[in-house]
Structure 1
Amino acid sequence: MSLTIYGLPTGSIYAPLASTILNGGFCPTLDRREIIPWGYKESMQFSDGSTGPGVESCVSIWYIDGAEQKVLVDTSFDNCEKVMNVLKKYGGNQVFKRKEEQEIVNALKKVNVTPEQIDIVIHTHLHFDHSGNDELFKNASFIVQRDEIPWALTPPPYGMWYYREFSFHLQNVLNRVRAIEGDVSITKGIEVWKLGGHTPGSMAVVVHTDIGRVALAGDVAVSYRNLEFRWPGGFFCNIEQVIQAYDRLLKETDVVVPGHDWEFFEKFPGGKIG
């Protein structure tokens, strides 16, 4: 079975460079211009009024067409203002923006699907920018690595991007959550690989398309530069697992799609793979 993936933009995050590329990409043996990710700007303004080098990153959801059931990967972030207010409480200064056409319902219209028609939502992980609209999908089951659930429901104080203010999103659909462990086949042509690294339960969604096996990497790889240089992003819980994930993804799939890179839409016009 050959499936098609549609990347659907649902907003942008404007964040300090170090959140996308660890240590800002500084290395004496590399030309730093090569490692800087797409969307980089020498100066941008953040929510606390500060300015500095930063990256505009996309936040996408991923619709998989042609499967036996209607499958979506991730559900993006909640209201921009709410998100930034919560972040400020925890010392974050990222800016979130969303255009009208990037609202979840409007984004799905591009593939002629409504939230109610989605059968399965796969979460690469449960950070708030990947699970902030679960309640819209009233008829879906939610597939999550078991290790991820405690972090989202009862976030520890050091659990960056897991915040108790957003725990209700998972709590509201908990009776429809399918907790899995490890690598699992979801339906014909779609499997998930547990990678860890970025978060305890981070996983890639691997889809069989007419151009080969395509991995939606989630935030194990935020940008293409993370993969090209095997250089982690700024947020991780286990750096060894991150590097192992890069090796596996690059060796065992034909295409790897990072979690937050606008460059994807240059490589795949219209966001379509397959």
Structure 2
Amino acid sequence: MAEDLRLYFMECGSLKTQVQFIKMNQGLGDPYEIPVPFFLITHPRGNVLFDGGNAREVSGDVDAHDYWGAVADAYQPVMRPDEFVVDQLQALDVDPASVKYVVQSHLHLDHSGAIGHFPNARYVVQRRELQYAFTPDWFQKPAYIRPDFDKDVSWVFLDGPNDDGYDLFSDGTMKTMFTPGHAPGHTSLLVDLPESGPMMLTADACYTMDHYENKALPGLVHSAADVAYSTEKVRRTVEGQGATLVTGHDPDAWPKFKKAPDYYA
């Protein structure tokens, strides 16, 4: 295990939304504000990002509709320009050129902000997710902002169950987990830290603890059956390895974690 491994919890502001857009058929019309996390993992062989939050284009005093379109009616970003992923890494004295991998949980608008902004990075994504992002079903289409991912970058494609447990550095420190449901090519990441132990970064495989505890389906879902399968898969890993569960957008759980510049080692 890499002794210099560090995991930084970061966020690029929040999304103002309503409960039913996060928890299907619940709290209709009730306001709900959720964090938009991303993660930096430092490794002796190169830095890694897990997701990148929102695009710079929706930060600051702008109308998010200009970049996101009508979906901004349901999800309103609250994000300062200096909360963009590149600016936050530079504030930690992390050179964007030092990022070796950007692991994309999926390609929805609040996760794809890093793509194309790290010149030496390879972008890890499920092949099915990128293919679907170009031609999504009508009910998922608003969540995919094509200018975010339609870029000439170096992709590393994962192929679903065949690549389950893909070991990023072949040392056991970071392994992907295929967790479809919310999106057809969703990926979670298990990070095994020397002191803190394994941490299960679920992204949107488990939006909140309600999703993890089978009390709610995601407000946006590609396959409810796959959501149930992936949640159980995450649960087996968390319980079997004694991992710390890190949900994707839980406004109650997120404040309990240390945030950058503090880190988990």
1:264, distance to aligned residue in structure 2 (A)? 4.1
Distance (Å, rounded) in 2 between the aligned partners of 1:12 and 1:57: 5
Calculate the TM-score normalised by the size of structure 1: 0.81
- How far 1:259 moved relative to its partner? 1.3
1:10-159, aligned counterparts within 5 Å? 10-24=12-26, 52-78=29-55, 79-80=57-58, 81=62, 83-89=64-70, 92-159=73-140
Whether the 8 Å CA contact 1:87–1:93 is kept in 2: the answer is: no
- TM-superposed CA distance for 1:15, in Å, is 0.7
Q: Does 1:169 align with 2:154?
A: no
Q: Which residue of 2 aligns with 1:257?
A: 246
Match of residue 201 from structure 1: 185
Retained in 2: the 8 A contact 1:72–1:118? yes
Q: Which deviations, in whole Å up to 9, do the C-alpha atoms of 1:135-193 show, x marking residues without a partner?
A: 21111000000110112233443324444xx323322134x011111311111211101
User: What do the CA deviations read for 1:171-225 (whole angstroms, capped 9, x no partner)?
Assistant: 2134x01111131111121110111011110011111013322111111111222
TM-score normalised over the length of structure 2: 0.83
Aligned partner letter, 2:249:
H
Inter-CA distance 110–258: structure 2 relative to 1 (3 Å threshold): farther
Q: 1:137 to 1:264 in 2, by over 3 A?
A: farther
Q: State whether residues 123 and 144 of structure 1, in contact with CA within 8 Å, keep that contact through their aligned partners in structure 2.
A: yes
Number of aligned residue pairs:
246
Cα deviation, 1:70-120, whole Å, max 9, x if unaligned, reads: 100112222224643354435843211112441222321353213222110
Q: Aligned to 1:185, which of 155, 161, 167?
A: 167
Task: Name the counterpart of 1:29.
Answer: none
Residue matched to 2:204: 219
How well do the aligned residues superpose, as a CA RMSD in angstroms? Answer: 2.3
Task: Kindly provide the amino acid, as one letter, of the partner of residue 87 in structure 2.
Answer: N
Paired residues of 1:69 and 1:119 also in contact (CA < 8 A): yes
Tell me the secondary structure at the aligned position of residue 273 of structure 1: coil
**1: CA distance, partners of 2:23 / 2:38:** 22
Query: 1:239 pairs with 221, 224, 234, which one?
Result: 224
Q: Say which is worse superposed, 81-90 or 138-147, in terms of deviation.
A: 81-90
Give the letter aligned to residue 191 of structure 2.
V
- Tell me if the contact between 1:8 and 1:63 (Cα under 8 Å) persists in the aligned partners: yes
Distance 1:162 1:270, change over 3 A: closer
- Cα gap change, 1:91/1:99 in structure 2, threshold over 3 Å: closer, same or farther? closer
1:7 Cα shift? 1.2
Contact 1:116-1:136 within 8 A present in 2 as well = no
Residue aligned with 2:40, SS: strand
Q: Deviations over 1:222-259 (max 9, x none)?
A: 12222134522211111122112222212212112111
The runs of 5 or more residues in structure 1 that have no matched partner are 27-51
1:273 is matched with 264
The 3-state SS of whatever aligns with 2:33 is strand
What percent of counterpart residues are identical? Answer: 23
- Classify the secondary structure of the residue corresponding to 2:218: coil
Contact 1:84 1:94 (8 Å CA) reproduced: no
Question: For the Cα contact (< 8 Å) 2:129–2:186, is it kept in 1?
Answer: yes
| Structure 1 residue 125 displacement after superposition | 0.4
Please, which moves more after superposition, 83-92 or 147-156? 83-92
In structure 2, relative to structure 1, the CA distance for the partners of 1:15 and 1:212 (3 Å cut) is same
